Amino acid sequence: MSGTIWIELLLIGFLIVLNGLLALSELALVSARKTRLEQLTKEGDARAGLALILANSPESFLSTIQIGITFVGILAGAFGGATIAEMLLPYIAAFPRLASYDETISVAIVVVCITYLSLIIGELIPKRLALNNPEKLACLVAPTINRLARLAHPLVVLLSGSTNVLLRLFRFKASPEPTVTEEEIKLLIDKGTQAGTFQEFEQDTIERVFRLADRRVAVLMTPRADIVWLDLNESQEETKSKIAQHKYSSYPVVRDTLDEVAGVIRGKELLSLIMEGKQFNLKEICRKPLFVPETTPAVKAMELFKKSKMHIAFVVDEYGEIQGLVTYGDILRSVFEDVEDTVEGEREIVEREDGSLLIAGNLPLDEFMDYLETGRLSEEEQAGMNTVGGFVMAKLGAVPLEGQHFIWKGLRCEVVDMDGRRVDKILVSKIEDEEKVFATAL
């Protein structure tokens, strides 16, 4: 082989590799997560900061890389392997049947070989590498691409300007950068859980945090009928008895009924006075109460608790009547507590051996829907319903009796226990399961 052929081979190889580096740089900068680059920048990685600047102005680096790829293509065309094709002519001419087509065949062989190497080394391998570790490679190539962008600045301005003019002629408007959605975050967390980065408990907790924005305090509150309060007119012995029996962190203070709220008192403050044997006046030591509408989102209620430095609030309806009580702890438990357990450890959802579910009537309706995977009701459908008990009453159209049932989305919902006029427990079973049991019995 002559020296000219070696030089041509080296030039072609160099151009293919250079094209591969440019392709790698382009995909790495486009694919790199900006949040990760921002994190690396905060940690002091200057190259990550440079990569972030390039990622935020793609017009600049894309034009630079395209100029480089075009320049490489021109050079590759100039050194198109003509010398190598000539070298192959004697070997092809040695075959009598191919001798008359030797030039065409030799050029075709060179073109196929160069194209194959260009695709593999100049495109596919670099892009695969860029996709596997975009942030690391983006930081690695950012300084070089930035220098090339400065050198090619006049051409970049010309190309970008020409592109923008043509786009305006076609009335193309650049769309704003898409914001990260809740569904995208959930998808990333789900992938992280599958990969072992997150535990299932962490995924469930994060999803519950997102759910807070959609939940109203009416879903989380203690119903009016279950509120334990301290009465200004009761004796101190009666107050001590309630404190000893219930042991809540805070207590409402009322005059005779919940319609006349005097304030709120912290349990530990009152307990401290009792332990010291001091006399106390509930009216003097109680704090101003906090009231929130029943439509208040749980997240908003947390903000109100923080501003008011209160951990308890009365939930009122549109007429100002107290419907229940919500605490800071109620909201936190909706995030961290297992849906199957209540604060006292009593299970709200019990799966029985036959596959049916025994469900507490005070279970929030959205958790009921999520557990059964039936899809949530629309705001119009759910109007006035916060718990499973309210849902059952709405379906039956009256205060139900034990044993009454209805069919909903392939499920048989039967009232099995009532607490006065309130639904205490329902039994949910799939209709198809009941049919199987019936068939077996026959």
pLDDT at 347: 56
Residues 415 and 305 in one domain: no
pLDDT bucket at 439, cuts 50 / 70 / 90: very low
Radius of gyration of the chain (CA): 36
Distance CA 340, CA 117 (A): 60
Residues 228 and 208 in one domain: no
Residues 148 and 7 in one domain: yes
Domain assignment present for residue 177? The answer is: no
Q: What percent of the chain has pLDDT over 90?
A: 13
- Alpha helix (H) residue ranges in 57-199: 58-78, 82-93, 102-119, 125-132, 134-151, 153-169, 182-195
Residues 303 and 437 in one domain: no
| Across 289-295, average pLDDT | 91
Residue 97 CB burial class (10 angstroms; 0-12, 13-18, ≥19) = exposed
Amino acid at 154: P
Domain assignment present for residue 303? The answer is: yes
pLDDT at 166: 82
Residues 308 and 369 in one domain: no
Asked if residue 341 has pLDDT above 80, the reply is: no
Distance CA 97, CA 110 (A): 20
Distance CA 357, CA 427 (A): 6
Task: Give the pLDDT confidence of 154-212 residue by residue, as tens digits.
Answer: 887 887 778 778 878 877 766 666 667 778 888 888 888 888 888 888 888 888 888 78
pLDDT bucket at 80, cuts 50 / 70 / 90: low
- Point out the domain boundary residue: 310, 335, 360: 335
Residues 393 and 289 in one domain: no
Residues 361 and 425 in one domain: yes
| Across 343-351, average pLDDT | 62
Asked if residue 238 has pLDDT above 70, the reply is: yes
Angle at CA of residue 344, ends 376 and 291, nearest 5°: 65
Residue with the larger pLDDT of the pair 340 and 416: 416
pLDDT bucket at 219, cuts 50 / 70 / 90: confident
Residues 299 and 390 in one domain: no
- CATH number of the CATH domain containing 401: 3.30.465.10
Q: How many domains does the chain have?
A: 4
Residues 155 and 36 in one domain: yes
Rounded to the nearest integer, the mean pLDDT of the chain is 82
Domain encompassing residue 370: 349-441
Domain assignment present for residue 176? The answer is: no
* Cβ neighbours of residue 207 closer than 8 Å, sequence gap 6 or more: 186, 189
pLDDT at 2: 54
pLDDT at 111: 80
Domain assignment present for residue 342? The answer is: no
Contact 20, 123 (CB under 8 A): yes
Domain assignment present for residue 343? The answer is: no
Residues 358 and 401 in one domain: yes
DSSP strand E in 168-256: where? 222-223, 230-231, 250-255
Residues 14 and 159 in one domain: yes
pLDDT bucket at 290, cuts 50 / 70 / 90: very high
Asked if residue 313 has pLDDT above 90, the reply is: yes
Distance CA 226, CA 315 (A): 13
Residues 375 and 227 in one domain: no
* Cβ neighbours of residue 161 closer than 8 Å, sequence gap 6 or more: none
Q: What percent of the chain has pLDDT over 70?
A: 90
- 11, 13, 15, 19 alpha-carbon torsion, rounded to 10°: 180
pLDDT bucket at 441, cuts 50 / 70 / 90: very low
